[in-house]
Amino acid sequence: MTAVTLHDLQVSVQDKTAFTTLADYAHIGQTFLELISRIQPTRIISPTHNNYIFYQYDEPYGYRVTRPLNTDLFMESSHEFELAFARFMTFLADVRQYEDAVTGRKSTQAYIAANEINKVVYTVQQSIGSVGDSFGNPNQSRKRIGQLFETLIKLIIQEVGLECEPRTIKIPIPGYPDQVMPYELDLVFSRNKALVTAESGFIDLTEIVGSVKTTSKDRIDKIFLDKFLLTKLLGREVPVVAIFLHDVQRAVKGKSIFGVNSTFKSNHFLGYTVALNSLDGVYYVDPRPDMIANQRLREQIADFQTFLVQDLWRLSG
């Protein structure tokens, strides 16, 4: 059998018909890690944050460099990832059965403590992102990488038993009876299977709106505005949560081009919280250290694992 190449993975990422199941995501994660082990691109440790690395591809791919990868979360061993993804799927079945009570079960407490949910999701999505970084023009894959993250989160929520789909709604504008404002929502999820359909043009009382982005950079203001406008125009409180992968990017630091910068704007986040409204939950697969250290941020932001095993059930209860 011919070995999979980086070009093969590029084609896979661009295929709009691919990635319809969690097994598809497991496959690309596994294949990318096997590829990295085989071709051994240059592995670069960030001099500013030693837990972040980069891979630099060879000459046929213009010596292009991947995004920063957090080794506290990113599993570089394909064998380790294969075993972890199997455990992940078993755990999702437990969550489907026990919902938030899963946190109190002795058989799953060690798994939750190991932070493996975040590790699996991060490794899968950053494998896709690293493939995208091999393109000559970043715009060839940037939007697609974001779409694939949205689909990944959607499939995980569906796997634990909730209805979850993207939706475009049409909101009536008060005072203008013949005018509506179309609004595209990344995800709408609910336990109420009779009400949630992708074709529904509205938001039911039992539904939660989810905004899913790889990073909050240049997007955080819109999410707060979404919450404000939906609540204002619909005349009732609309639950809105935000799910992000990370908030870091490669940066020039001194003489090194392999520094790591945070793209999270904490003062903007707190300003929107005070001036507009609080979101009903903000979750990161790879939260920044200040989101944990800063009490004001910690009250608003948690990791994705917390969303999946606790807050998802509180919000949709």
- Residues 71, 68: Cα–Cα separation, whole Å: 9
pLDDT value of position 82: 98
Q: Which residues, 6 or more positions from 162, have their beta carbon under 8 angstroms from its beta carbon?
A: 189, 190, 191, 312, 316
pLDDT value of position 301: 97
The pTM for the full model equals 0.95
Spatial contact of 190 and 196, defined as CB atoms under 8 Å apart: yes
- Residues 117, 317: Cα–Cα separation, whole Å: 22
Q: Per the structure block, which two tokens stand in for 90?
A: 């078993």
Where do we find the tokens 């661009």?
14
| pLDDT tens-place values along the chain, 317 residues long | 688 999 999 999 999 999 999 999 999 999 999 999 999 999 999 999 999 999 999 999 999 999 999 999 999 999 999 999 999 999 999 999 999 999 999 989 999 999 999 999 999 999 999 999 999 887 778 899 999 999 999 999 999 999 999 999 988 888 888 898 888 999 999 987 655 444 446 888 889 999 999 999 988 999 999 999 999 888 899 999 999 999 999 998 777 889 999 999 999 999 999 998 999 999 999 999 999 999 999 999 999 999 999 999 999 87
